């Protein structure tokens, strides 16, 4: 187990190093320069700034400086917000992004599992068709369409909920719905397929033959076993949701990290771009690493197979 864990850890570190390096290379190839009002800066001023931010040093030197700083957890100072460190900006935005991500994943889980279960148990009935129609709609309607629709109709026309901002609990509802809809649809379809698979297994027939009650079969056998594929994908889905909040955050004015991504790219804020990329990669790699370890811990077959490979 230790060897397996160390090996996983090594892979994780290599992955992060590759991402850090790639980000550096890509960033250096971005056209333009990172200073706002650059159209108004003279060449002399630009040279001064480049010198101050170390952009005039040889690339290799810049790379090692950057790598050293990343290891120390110093992602530099944002070019756009000169008084704030990138880690601070990320720290401040992470709370809202994570919170929105968690709300929406909970919503997606509750909705998806319910819809999928209903659809499977009422297979080929109107219940099934309605649930699956909702699921198809969920996959088809992107959040950048659903978000403004919710904001306008629920917020302005019906006045049920605030159309934007992020202060009170009620401010969380619309963005969480907008963000969860797609994931909910995927989970519903997965749950339905998975349940239908289980229903046709021999052990369910056995259970029925043994005369177990319907609800007992559903709860103890079908539901629990059908949940497995959902559990398997929930880690990556979670990361997907918290990193995929960009559009929804923008629409509902959520003070999260998403907007920094777009803005930092538009303004060539090198330190911010690389900082965010590294931050997200580390989260993803970390979640995958923990999931791997958890699997290895739970199921020795996985550990052995990977260990030998």
Partner 1 sequence: MNVRKFLATTVVLTVIGGAAAGCSGETNNNAAGDNKDAGAVKQEVTLNYRTEPGALDVSKTTQIAGFTVLNAVGEGLYRMNKDNKAEPALAKDMPKVSADGKTYTITLRDGVTYSDGTPVKAQDFVYSFQRSVDPATKALYSFMVAWVKGGADVQKAKTPEEVEAKKKEMGVKAIDDKTLEITLERPIPFFTEQLSFLTFFPQRQDVVDKFGNKNGADAESVIGAGPFKLEKWAHEQQLVLVKNDKYWDKDNVKLEKVTLNIVKEESTGLNLFQTGASDLQVISADNIGLWEGKPEYVLQPELSSWYIKLNEKNVPAFANKKVRQALGMAIDNKAYIETVMGKGPVPATGFVPNGTSDGNGNEFRKSAGDLMPKFDPEKAKALLKEGLAELGLQSLPNFTIQVDDHNTGPKSVEFIVAQWKQNLGVDVTAQPLPHKLRVDNENNHKYQASVSGWGADYNDPMTFLDMWITGGEFNDVDWSNPEYDKLITAAQNELDKAKRAQYMVDAEKILLQEMPILPNYFRALSWVKSTKIDGMLFPPYGVEFELKWASVK
Indicate whether 305 belongs to the interface with partner 1 (CB under 8 A).
Answer: no
Rg (CA), the chain: 24
- With CB under 8 A as the contact rule, the residue among 70, 86, 96, 113 that binds partner 1 is 96
Residue indicated by tokens 């630009």: 46
Indicate whether 229 belongs to the interface with partner 1 (CB under 8 A).
Answer: no
- With CB under 8 A as the contact rule, the residue among 219, 299, 300, 304 that binds partner 1 is 299
**How many residues are recorded in the chain?**
309
117, 190 Cβ separation under 8 angstroms:
no
Least Å distance, CB 199 to partner 1, is 17
Indicate whether 228 belongs to the interface with partner 1 (CB under 8 A).
Answer: yes
Can you tell me the distance from the alpha carbon of 226 to that of 235, in angstroms, rounded to the nearest whole number?
A: 17
Indicate whether 71 belongs to the interface with partner 1 (CB under 8 A).
Answer: no
Indicate whether 224 belongs to the interface with partner 1 (CB under 8 A).
Answer: yes
268, 30 Cβ separation under 8 angstroms:
yes
Cα dihedral 145, 148, 153, 159, rounded to 10, equals 150
Within residues 257-296, the interface with partner 1 by CB under 8 A covers 259, 266-268, 283, 287, 290-291, 294-295
Least Å distance, CB 32 to partner 1, is 3
Indicate whether 89 belongs to the interface with partner 1 (CB under 8 A).
Answer: yes
Spatial CA neighbour of 271 closest among 41, 65, 101, 44: 65
Interaction mask 149-188, partner 1, x per CB under 8 A: --xx--xx--x--xxxxxxx--------------------
Can you tell me the distance from the alpha carbon of 122 to that of 66, in angstroms, rounded to the nearest whole number?
A: 57
Q: Which is nearer to partner 1, 96 or 195 (CB)?
A: 96
Helix, strand or coil for residue 77? Answer: strand
Within residues 105-144, the interface with partner 1 by CB under 8 A covers none
- The site for partner 1, by CB under 8 A, has a size of 74
């Amino acid at each position: 187990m230790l060897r397996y864990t160390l090996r996983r850890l090594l892979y994780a570190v290599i992955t992060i190093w590759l991402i850090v390096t790639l980000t550096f290379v890509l960033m250096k190839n971005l056209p333009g320069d990172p200073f706002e009002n650059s159209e108004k800066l003279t060449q002399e001023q630009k040279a001064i700034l480049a010198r101050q931010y170390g952009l005039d040093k040889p690339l290799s030197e810049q790379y090692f400086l950057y790598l050293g700083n990343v290891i120390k957890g110093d992602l530099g100072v944002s070019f756009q917000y000169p008084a704030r460190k990138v880690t601070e900006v990320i720290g401040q935005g992470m709370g809202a992004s994570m919170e929105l991500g968690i709300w929406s994943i909970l919503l997606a889980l509750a909705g998806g599992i319910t819809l999928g279960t209903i659809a499977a148990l009422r297979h080929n009935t109107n219940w099934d068709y309605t649930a699956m129609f909702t699921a198809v709609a969920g996959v088809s309607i992107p959040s950048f369409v659903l978000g403004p629709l919710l904001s306008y109709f629920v917020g302005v026309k019906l006045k049920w909920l605030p159309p934007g901002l992020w202060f009170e609990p009620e401010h969380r509802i619309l963005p969480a719905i907008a963000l969860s809809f797609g994931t909910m649809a995927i989970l519903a379809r997965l749950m339905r397929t998975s349940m239908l698979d289980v229903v046709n297994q021999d052990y369910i027939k056995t259970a029925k033959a043994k005369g177990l009650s319907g609800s007992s079969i559903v709860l103890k056998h079908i539901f629990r076993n059908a949940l497995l594929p959902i559990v398997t994908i929930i880690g990556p889905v979670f990361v997907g949701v918290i990193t995929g909040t960009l559009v929804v955050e923008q629409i509902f004015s959520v003070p999260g990290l998403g907007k920094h991504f777009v803005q930092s790219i538009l303004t060539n804020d090198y330190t911010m771009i690389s900082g965010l990329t590294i931050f997200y990669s580390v989260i993803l790699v970390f979640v995958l690493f923990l999931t791997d370890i958890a699997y290895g811990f739970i199921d020795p077959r996985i550990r052995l197979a990977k260990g030998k490979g």
